[in-house]
Structure 1
Amino acid sequence: MIEQVNEIRQQITAYTIDTKEQLENFRIAYVGRKGAVAGLFELLKTVPAEERRAMGQELNSLKDLAQETFQAAQERLENSQSQQVTPDVDLTLPTIPNETGSLHPLTLIRQRIVEIFERLGFNVADGPEIEEDWYNFTALNFPENHPAREMQDTFFIEKNGPGKDILLHTHTSNIQVRLMETQQPPLRSIMPGRVYRNEAISARAHCFFHQIEGLYIDENVSFKDLKDTLYQFAQELFGSEVQVRFRPSYFPFTEPSAEMDISCEMHRPGGCRICGGTQNQCKGTGWVEILGSGMVDPNVLENCGIDSKKYTGFAFGMGIERIANLKYRVRDLRLYSENDVRFLRQFEQA
């Protein structure tokens, strides 16, 4: 048996280990439980008792040699790999800066508008984008022959006749109807969302865009409450120096109705920061329109199961793209949906 021990010792001493594969083969052959050294320990019980002690010492010495050889080779390979440097890397080059993402400009404006109205006591409501005619048109006092019901303005999914059509909602007012149907006043909510209209895509129009609408219903709500709320909103969003005016208008679901303009900075020192020469420019008038508003029509309240003799309310709505254009001087609506990183990176610090 001593001949076998000497033979394996010579094999271990002469074994070449230059790769991980060779290291693993050595471990299996000499260090593992089924290796040659372990096999000799199994044969130790066949050695005469008077020789077993001396043979055991020889086997322990052989086992130590195998383990030390394995560990030394393992450390050598690990050290050599850690010291290797890829020859194609120029260590004198500056480091690559961290590429941080940024919020989309429409997201920034939406968050800012929501933040302002939440401080004014409004909560956020949500609703479906695929809607029934009742919620999108009929309950909001749209007559059956209203142009918005026709194919040139609305994306219809199913044409089932007046009051039964299925469509992509053209405004977030449908969420107001659902809110009034399921909750009793007082109601004070804003409804942000994406809306769809069948329009040709250009720098000034798109087939989808984003809106935020608001609704406040309670006892004794007046037009003054509407004006005070929107005036506070305009001051917080555009600055304390902004001026506001209301012009009479028409919407099927509000009466009386008004559009709200803010003062353009064209005539102030430093030029026009708000309109910036976009399609929303004041054209010399000194005013820029930003939203529509009005007192909720009593017919709308009754359609939704709210007593119009007891409760009154106001509603308003604005396009987020319009506000973003004014704040960031964006001249082309298509930029918001093209995902051009050159455009989006401008808002990393916004």
Structure 2
Amino acid sequence: MSAPNKSYDPVEVEALKAEVIDRAREDALAAIAAADSLDALREVKAAHSGDRSPLALANREIGALPPKARAESGKRVGQARGAVSKALAARQEQLEEERDERVLVEEAVDVSLPYDRVRPGARHPLTTLMDRIEDIFTAMGYEVAEGPELEADWFNFDALNIGPDHPARTTQDTFFVRPPGGGEVGPDDAGLVLRTHTSPVQIRSLLDREPPVYVVCPGRVFRTDELDATHTPVFHQVELLAVDEGLTMADLKGTLDHMVRSLFGEGMETRLRPDHFPFTEPSAEMDMVCYVCRGASVGNPDRPCRTCSSEGWIELGGCGMVNPRVLTACGVDPERYSGFAFGFGIERLLMFRHNVEDMRDMVEGDVRFTRPFGMEI
């Protein structure tokens, strides 16, 4: 028997030819050198060093060679793959350095620049003033109460002793969402309106609570007014309700005096003038002494006051003792309990307190109006 002829090499693999390996290596090195970003380099790596690259495919063909030819081809392919891997690592390091240098330049922060180039905004003065008023009354033991802006007209009118024929129930003053179906029998049979005052919150408070009841009711209200310097169809009110045994007009007057002095300073006085409101009896208009001239302009042509027109007093809002019919509608015994209520517009109070001449400035959203008030009033 003859021995195997190990010197005979009948296999010639195209992918393992020296010129093919050298060309694949040169193509890979050229592509690596041309890569101008890390993303481009990743694509080059996949094409020239990945599992489907020419050198990787050539490496798989080595097993098809006879033993004598494997060593030489394996060395040639290994040197080529090693050169490509080394070039890839060097190019990646170079591109990462360039990226880091570019980031330092593009994302640099100049800490010497002023930090307050964007001027801060401010809370709206109406919000801050309402918070201030709430603080005054919560310090006296009152509770802040809120209610829906879309209200049944039974709460908005009937429960407040405002009958079906009252002028306030016409579309001249009220935004009706759903016409009433007879509201006299109760809230379930009533229409829907955008509330014209925050008094419905007082009704809801009496229905939800057992006397004594002490609540302050801030909120947004709606009336069909034109927007001008002194009117707006959407404005804010604060109303107060106190129901307890033995309350009188003297308690109302003392509460009003305390509120005015807390808002405008010591020495401020109030006065009550007879008036009529369906939900209070007796009723009054509350005036406060002019906070500018303190009454010194009255009868004094040498010291005219534009704020109060030299009358010495400024009208602030309506008030009075709660009408017994309102207490009865809410299930409160008018023979045992009495109460007082008052309300005023926040926009009007802001105009008085800070000499704002045009109510439209409060609703246009111009930061030049709100910023001077800052965060506090």
Is TM more than 0.5 here?
yes
Q: Distance in 2 between matches of 1:187 and 1:42?
A: 92
Q: Residue 124 and residue 96 in structure 1: after superposition, are their counterparts in 2 closer, same or farther (change >3 A)?
A: closer
Alignment of 1:98-177 (within 5 A): 98-160=118-180, 163=183, 164-177=190-203
Post-superposition CA distance 1:289-316 (Å, at most 9, x none): 2232222111100011111122222211
How many residues were matched structurally?
340
Is the contact between residue 296 and residue 315 of structure 1 (CA under 8 Å) also seen in structure 2? yes
Identity in percent:
37
Q: Distance in 2 between matches of 1:119 and 1:45?
A: 93
Q: Residue 146 and residue 94 in structure 1: after superposition, are their counterparts in 2 closer, same or farther (change >3 A)?
A: same
Residue 44 of structure 1: CA displacement? 5.8
Is the contact between residue 145 and residue 215 of structure 2 (CA under 8 Å) also seen in structure 1? yes
Alignment of 1:59-98 (within 5 A): 61-62=82-83, 64-79=85-100, 81-82=102-103, 97-98=117-118
* Counterpart position of 2:282: 256
After the TM superposition, which of the residue ranges 296-305 and 199-208 deviates more from structure 2?
Answer: 199-208
* Counterpart position of 1:229: 255
* Counterpart position of 1:30: 48
Query: Aligned AA for 1:218?
Result: D
Q: Residue 85 and residue 113 in structure 1: after superposition, are their counterparts in 2 closer, same or farther (change >3 A)?
A: same
* Counterpart position of 2:36: 18
Is the contact between residue 19 and residue 77 of structure 1 (CA under 8 Å) also seen in structure 2? no
After the TM superposition, which of the residue ranges 41-50 and 290-299 deviates more from structure 2?
Answer: 41-50
Using the size of structure 2 for normalisation, the TM-score is 0.78
Q: Where does structure 1 lack aligned partners over 5 or more consecutive residues?
A: none
Max Rg structure: 2
Q: Distance in 2 between matches of 1:137 and 1:345?
A: 38
Post-superposition CA distance 1:105-154 (Å, at most 9, x none): 21111111122222222222222222222111111112333221222222
* Counterpart position of 1:339: 365
Residue 78 of structure 1: CA displacement? 0.6
Query: Aligned AA for 1:315?
Result: A
Is the contact between residue 266 and residue 286 of structure 1 (CA under 8 Å) also seen in structure 2? no
Q: Residue 54 and residue 175 in structure 1: after superposition, are their counterparts in 2 closer, same or farther (change >3 A)?
A: same
Q: Distance in 1 between matches of 2:204 and 2:220?
A: 17
Using the size of structure 1 for normalisation, the TM-score is 0.83
Q: Residue 46 and residue 311 in structure 1: after superposition, are their counterparts in 2 closer, same or farther (change >3 A)?
A: farther
Residue 80 of structure 1: CA displacement? 5.4
Q: Residue 44 and residue 293 in structure 1: after superposition, are their counterparts in 2 closer, same or farther (change >3 A)?
A: farther
Q: Residue 317 and residue 53 in structure 1: after superposition, are their counterparts in 2 closer, same or farther (change >3 A)?
A: same
Q: Where does structure 2 lack aligned partners over 5 or more consecutive residues?
A: 1-15, 184-189, 298-303
Post-superposition CA distance 1:144-167 (Å, at most 9, x none): 332212222222233346534432
Is the contact between residue 37 and residue 63 of structure 1 (CA under 8 Å) also seen in structure 2? no
After the TM superposition, which of the residue ranges 291-300 and 221-230 deviates more from structure 2?
Answer: 221-230
Q: Distance in 2 between matches of 1:66 and 1:40?
A: 19
* Counterpart position of 2:328: 302
After the TM superposition, which of the residue ranges 145-154 and 223-232 deviates more from structure 2?
Answer: 223-232
- 3-state SS of the aligned residue for 1:189? strand
Query: Aligned AA for 1:119?
Result: A
- 3-state SS of the aligned residue for 2:344? strand
After the TM superposition, which of the residue ranges 319-328 and 115-124 deviates more from structure 2?
Answer: 115-124
* 1:216 aligned onto 2:242: yes
